[in-house]
Amino acid sequence: MTDDFQIPGFVNAHSHAFQRALRGLVEGRDFWAWREAMLELAAGVRTDYRAVFAEMRAAGYTAVGEFHYLGLDEARAAAEAAAAIGIELVVLYVAYARGGIERFRQESVADYVRDLERLRADGARVGVAPHSVRACPREWLVELGRYATAEGLPLHVHADEQPREIEECLAEHGVRPIELLADCGCLGPRTTVVHATHANDHELDLIADAGARVCLCLTTEANLGDGFAPVEQLCERGIGICIGSDSNARIDPLEELRELEGIARRRTGRRNVVSPDSLLCFGADEGAASLGVESWSEITIDLDHPSLRGVEEQDIFAALVSGCSAAVLAPVAA
Ligand SMILES: [Zn+2]
């Protein structure tokens, strides 16, 4: 007997689809070596978005925020692929002023906004995404913050992933990355800070005061050796948390959530720091709110899957986040 159980689909609030091609490569080398390989890949890539989005859909994600820095044509290809696969897409179109490679960069904020407006005119759902305080100088951050606020768009930005980024920001601006974002008007209720791995107490207070969210990309942060997400510090402050598959080294929302709770348990020395219901909310509703998405498809739980053998109905959610992979999740047939 198959007795399927429907739940909201998971929401992948932070993805770089093209990095899926790096899976299994450059293991055993540091973050900055990985970044070099990623830049090399990005210079020539035409991503097979359909295959990557299909992998996400099969893993239970039914909405994705694609943090996109490969230019307008590739953004359009991503939008077409998402429509074909049936995954709700928000193109978090990236503003990139300096560093990286030429393909990532725009000449000015006006050029950036022109491309973003083209995507909106095509009917794509978009968000504003200053890549990081490394890639965007203060004047860009001020203009982008103002534009996102005026347009009511989500604003996503990488911050505090690696200690070196914080040192460079302190050297250039005399403040830490999230302090700079707050100074520049980039921290508000529609903001999602991606990573915040090395954020200090003051930076986390700023996020809480602004009503902003944090997107944790646990499997990528583990793969890249970024550090431990500050899970308890975020929860203590009531900061909304969402999840992202980021580099797509793994695509499995249940693994992201288990890693999140695993970090919290190891650090506090106790169990059940975040309840299964809250974890599922991080995996779905918080991600949707982060992306400004109001409706996205449901998924089903395969109750006949061997991973759920012997689990009572009231324990299914706990079993999902403690003991199952995405293999128990499936899209609802249209
Ligand atoms: Zn990222």
pLDDT digits (tens, 9 = 90+) for 168-184: 999 999 999 999 999 99
Tell me the torsion sign for CA atoms 203, 205, 209, 214.
Answer: positive
Length of the chain as a residue count: 334
List all residues 6 or more positions away from 212 whose beta carbon is below 8 Å from its beta carbon: 187, 188, 189, 191, 192, 193, 239
**Can you name the residues that pair with 61 across neighbouring β-strands?**
10
What tokens appear for 331 in the block?
Answer: 């899209």
Q: Is residue 1 predicted with pLDDT exceeding 50? A: no
Residues forming the active site: 195, 246
DSSP class of 103: G
Distance from the alpha carbon of residue 1 to the mean position of ligand 1, in angstroms: 42
Ligand 1 centre and the CA of 52: distance in Å? 16
pLDDT recorded at residue 42: 84
pLDDT of 2 over the 80 cut: no
- Give the number of C-alpha atoms closer than 13 A to the C-alpha of residue 14, restricted to the C-beta side: 31
- What confidence tier does 45 reach under pLDDT thresholds 50, 70, 90? low
Tokens of 68: 């996109």
In angstroms, what is the span from residue 298 Cα to ligand 1's centroid? 26
Render pLDDT for 241-254 as a digit per residue (tens, 0 to 9): 999 999 999 999 99
The predicted pLDDT at position 4 comes to 66
The proportion of the chain whose per-residue pLDDT surpasses 70, expressed as a percent, equals 98
pLDDT of residue 211: 98
Structure tokens at 252: 């499995």
DSSP code for 314? G
Q: What is the Å distance from ligand 1's center to 14 Cα?
A: 6
The Cα 328–Cα 303 span in angstroms is 8
Task: Return the axis-axis angle of helices 316-323 and 253-268, rounded to nearest 10°.
Answer: 80
Beta strands per DSSP E along the chain: 5-8, 10-15, 61-68, 88-95, 126-130, 155-159, 191-195, 213-216, 240-243, 298-301, 329-331
Distance from Cα 257 to the centre of ligand 1, integer Å:
18
Chain segment 185-194, per-residue pLDDT in tens: 999 999 999 9
CA of 19 to the centre of ligand 1 (A): 10
More confident call, 101 vs 332 = 101
CB contact set of 114 (below 8 Å; sequence gap of 6+): none
For residue 28, pLDDT beyond 90:
no
Q: What is the pTM of this model?
A: 0.96
Interatomic CA distance for residues 280 and 286, integer angstroms: 9
Ligand 1 centroid distance, CA of 290 (Å):
15
| Mean pLDDT, rounded, for 143-167 | 97
- Give the model's pLDDT for residue 331: 80
